[in-house]
Structure 1
Amino acid sequence: MTEQAIPAHLQHWPGLFEWRDGALMQASAADVAVARSYPSYADKGGLVNGRRLTVMSRSRLYRIAEEVRVIHVVEAVEPGQELYIMGPKPVYGEYLDDALVTQQPPQDVWAPDTYNGPTLPSPAVDYNYEITAYRFDRAGRHTIEWCIGNLHSNRLAIEVEA
């Protein structure tokens, strides 16, 4: 995808952060590289009402016990929506091999009453979600999917080999 083909709201890089020992820190260079590839990422989640969820990792192939770090992106492509960009926010509704591994999303996940941070009007993209991490103790195929209400991310397929 050429620079001109990338929509304007995806051309600005806001940074990627994570919580480490209770402190907000810039994410690792490896995680940033994954997140920065989002504008040209071919396997984005499907659009529902102008919004999509996407999960990404640095590779699709890992070794047993190697850490799989998952980046979460919310994109709103149609005008008239707001993204709550302060974070990193908890990831709700993540499934590993079709089993829920995080809490279910709260009812107000897209417009929390307790939120008092900045918002971005759409079209916009939000990278400010916690990075989840998994390790697998046996070889095989694993899938990761992020679901909030009627939004389902892409199904990230990870192959683990000995």
Structure 2
Amino acid sequence: MQSSEDEGKAGRATERSPESGIHWPGLYMRRGDEIIDALPDDIEVAKSYPAAEDKGKAVGGTRLTILAKKNRYRVNEEVRIIHVLEVVEPGHRLFVMGPKPIYGEYIDGNPVTPEEAPETVYDGLVLDSPNVDYNYDITSYSFPETGRHRIHWQIGGLRSNTLELEIVAA
């Protein structure tokens, strides 16, 4: 059952960006046991999704995409990853309540989150496609040495775009 707080957030899920036609549901993050609005920089990155050139390949009408604020970071600087699932064809349902835990994220080919989600029961807002789901946990990494790193997200038969990061001296 949805709480009144969830219903208020769910109400925002029907807003459409006039420029892109894509729903903007807001972006949330966890702070302990609370779900709060995401940081302004994370919201800015997420809102850039409709115009992003490097999106994941659509398979069966669905695509995964990951976004970061930039591609070049300093040693030990926090890298925050925004996760987007988009269903581009009609006739599907998106389970948009969250933020949902991330599974299947890889850095340099190595898993950094559990590879598969456990079975769960979903009791939340469902939207029809075409639509976009931004409600995934924001992951955060930092790198202690200079170099290049590649991050991607995959679940089921879907694989996101690959972010190529350059880590430079502070």
**TM-score when scaled to structure 2?**
0.86
Structure 1 residue 26 corresponds to structure 2 residue 33: no
Q: Decide which of 125, 129, 137 is 1:130's aligned counterpart.
A: 137
Structure 1 residue 145 corresponds to structure 2 residue 152: yes
Q: Any residues of structure 2 matched to 1:2-13 within 5 Å, and which?
A: 6=20, 8=21, 10=22, 12-13=23-24
Q: CA deviation at 1:106?
A: 3.1
Q: Any residues of structure 2 matched to 1:54-93 within 5 Å, and which?
A: 54-93=65-104
* CA distance in 2 between partners of 1:106 and 1:31 (Å): 24
Corresponding letter in the other structure for 2:107 = L
* Structure 2 unmatched ranges of 5 or more: 1-17
* CA distance in 1 between partners of 2:160 and 2:32 (Å): 29
Identity of aligned residues (%): 49
The Cα offsets for residues 102-155 of structure 1, whole Å up to 9 and x where unpaired, read as 1122376xxx5x101111110010000000000000001001100012100000
Structure 1 residue 53 corresponds to structure 2 residue 67: no
* CA distance in 1 between partners of 2:110 and 2:151 (Å): 9
The Cα offsets for residues 50-91 of structure 1, whole Å up to 9 and x where unpaired, read as 000000000000000000000000000111111100000001
Aligned to 1:156: 163
**CA RMSD, aligned part only?**
1.3
Aligned residue pair count:
152
Corresponding letter in the other structure for 1:26 = D
Q: Any residues of structure 2 matched to 1:90-129 within 5 Å, and which?
A: 90-106=101-117, 112=120, 114-129=121-136
Q: CA deviation at 1:40?
A: 0.1
**TM-score when scaled to structure 1?**
0.90
* CA distance in 2 between partners of 1:144 and 1:31 (Å): 17
SS for the counterpart of 2:80 is strand
Corresponding letter in the other structure for 1:45 = G
* Structure 1 unmatched ranges of 5 or more: none
